[in-house]
Structure 1
């Protein structure tokens, strides 16, 4: 549905590494420890990236996108 589009847009706005970590965890089911090892990060760094990604997703769902008004945007 529409929600996924918002989330995808939010993820695209994230730094590459943050997005990668989020996808590894959510899509591929990797544990934080596995991601940390694979990316040469500490587990707490992975947790911070995940929190940032989740915040971005939540924020994108909270904020309704502005109505598109063709032609007369400032």
Structure 2
């Protein structure tokens, strides 16, 4: 790993696959929101908003199906 930045609080390294590793001063890895905050502060990553979830399609109306069933019942009589 290549050391990108070293401070008294943490060390940021870049892995061979391009991702970043952050290790605290206690030699324990920093993960989650703390890691994102550090990488954002150093301007090493950019956070994009997640894509909006697709809206569910409106369900088909039940009335036409009921009418078709009623018409079939009338034809049988």
TM-score in terms of structure 2 length: 0.28
- Relative contact order higher in (CA < 8 Å, ≥ 6 apart): 1
Higher normalized strand content (fraction of residues): 2
TM-score in terms of structure 1 length: 0.29
Instruction: Name the larger-Rg structure.
Output: 2
